[in-house]
Structure 1
């Protein structure tokens, strides 16, 4: 018998810390985590902050139950930030109470009292009867409309709190709670808590028959759905253990203690699995939050890029409109200038024709052959300029002259003027070159003088008269005009060497900033080179 007592008390010492069980919660830790996680997903999906606040609150309670006060505080504060904004008095006061409990666990009694008072103020200010019923039952005992089921829960909490110091009052309160709960068919777990508390008080007083009757009623519920709940079974085994302990029946007490230990193992395993599930959920939650942050950062970057692109597009569109406006204005200006230039060239052409007509009238009145020849030469020179202005006026581009077309017209007019077009062989190699009008006039005058010179001093002395013209431009924009006839050369043209025609050619070459070269005296061959 002595050996049996030693084993019993050793077992009692080892497991006395496991003998206090939740009085109202029927769910295992794993089930509570799954429920809280389901609320978290629902709140995230619906974007409902009140659901998220409830999920955070439940996670805080779970962490507190597992002894993780810091994690618990983090969840409670996340929930509190939401309920304060949404003005939810019951949830807000409940959170202050829970945070105060954490402060009490850490030895911060003043902070605990302050937060408890804060919770009370929130309940009263928000007229939260539910909060007062749950946390301050003494303030609502006289409310006529208090929910009886909630009142029974409050009574059980109050009875348990005063049982060690005032078992008589505790027994009366347990009876009240039992009487209330018998009217509710689905509150067997809460009723069992009240009956277990009453049975322990009766057994401690030696009223074993009534205590045993209550415990038998508890045991009968093992065959119901409650029997599958390890917490309920632990309450039943704990109640029998204490019953036999008070009867000094240590054999049966040890038997129920061993059963209690087995239930503790099941509860511990469930809590361990729940903790693992919780850690997994936290890992997945943090992983999802990290992914969400990365996605948000990517979205922000995309928004910045899109904003920059839109700004760039707006700037580009503005530049396009500006460019179009400037281009349109320039086109109008160019068109106006072309009209003005053509009008000017037309007037110059008319004036040149008028001057040519006046010279022609004067020539008919002059009887001196030398004077007539001088007037004819002047008329030829004027006609060269008239041809140029006629081409400028008739052409599409009033700012440049097509040299090939211009020089061909000058050559044709000069030979027609002497009546030698059909008698002279023209050899042309003229490239398509465009030149500004001032330089084109200079070339026209030079060609006119050269043809006039050949018609006077070369063609009359040649059986098969030829005139060669070559106009080229190299990659450096150097334009070269070559002219040759098959006459006797300058040796027979001494009068021309120092005449007005040669002086005019030299003057026009200087105007072109070009170089004049006569290569041979057997046949007349002249080149003029200048930069375009």
Structure 2
């Protein structure tokens, strides 16, 4: 049996190979570790079932193990009934050992679902009725659905409808949209079998709306698409029928719902016959038989052979029709139980015999059809379903009237509440208006004070700038009295340092921002001044490869001094013999609290470890300012020289 299961799994893996990558189903670090299919994921395939089976050995919590094992059993019943029953029996044994009555009952519901599809209707009924005494109320809607299937298969359509309505009542009581959708689906199918196609279509579409509202795209939703398609087919709305069948096939093939696929392909035989698409009808019949064999389901196999036989009747291939319909009847005996489809089989067989001039056989087949038909389509069953419909409609109307009364009472309550809220809102608005008026006065005073402070700050920056210019002028006057070129150079550098600081204060009182400096504009002004002071505007070009960037004064001043020193150094040493050259300045924000500065030239460069030229004051100043800004410096000695700085800053933008 294990070898058989492995072969089946390997076959499904090839058959259902998909580009989807299935996510992890279990995360045992979480309180709810199981990612349940059709609830928290829709990635359902053989790999999902294999992962469930592999996880069983790792699960130490009984309730979780039972849930996973029950899901394995139930989801396998859409693909192979024998494998599904193996898992079910294992679950029944485990729950008996653990004396867990609730989960034993739930496994019995799954067992009943499998048994009824194996034509063991009496056993299925007994198991389901025993389970009814063990499970919770929330489980009963699904249990009643399975009991309804038992009676439907026996041809007791009125009894089946009773269970469908019981499920509907439970679903409405518990606000279980899945249970409501399933009940409407069952009623739609029963009405279709009764030939009440308009009503059947109405219930089927209602069912789909409840499934979709709950975002439940699963086996039962797929089956309901098939049922709606059947009603459209019976109403001769062939395009709509094809639309719902194709949607059902798409879902069935995606998830491996072989029972639904066999159902739909059986109906597609009939649809394609109506459309005179006989080759498509033949292909649909082969698919129906294929999925019935894979599922190991005699009910599906019987109906598949019947559909092929009816197709051959239409093609006037009566010997082949007789052969296939006889196969259908052979599959169905002795415990088939479904008089509806058996009656159809004998009717089609009688037609084939008559057309093949086997009149005695035709007579016996038609007699058998009449006897089965009279059992299924009794006046009592028809009357019961009509009565149930009426009762249901009356209940719905009473519910609507009660709902309207409740809504009127609610409207009155809402009106009173609205009046109360309106009064409170008026008081709140009055308080807010008074508060707003007071705040407005305060804001006016604050604006006046802010303008006064802004004016004072601008005045301070203006005076600082003027004082720095006075210092620069004094240095210039002193320089004019000096003859030593080295001292003149040092004085000129000092003037440029003072100027680099004075520009910042000039920008602060000229711009709308009093707390920050836009650095690109600042560097352009500084660079132009330094070139002018050295008389190198024509020979040396400075490139400013940086976005607009605002920095606070405490950061801008040291940066300005660093760039001033590096520009001065390049102009003095990088381009000897009147050689033309280029200097690049790039300042970028790396993160909210980090900026990067690059200053490089394409001059003659220097070798690593070469002693500083001049007094070395500029290098010492750069080192000091870099530490002040909590920064790092790296020098790259290439053709030319590159200085990289990283600085920690606050509030750069």
TM-score > 0.5, shorter chain as reference: no
Structure with the greater relative contact order (CA < 8 A, sep ≥ 6): 1 or 2? 1
Structure number with greater Rg is 1
TM-score, length-normalised on structure 1? 0.42
TM-score, length-normalised on structure 2? 0.35
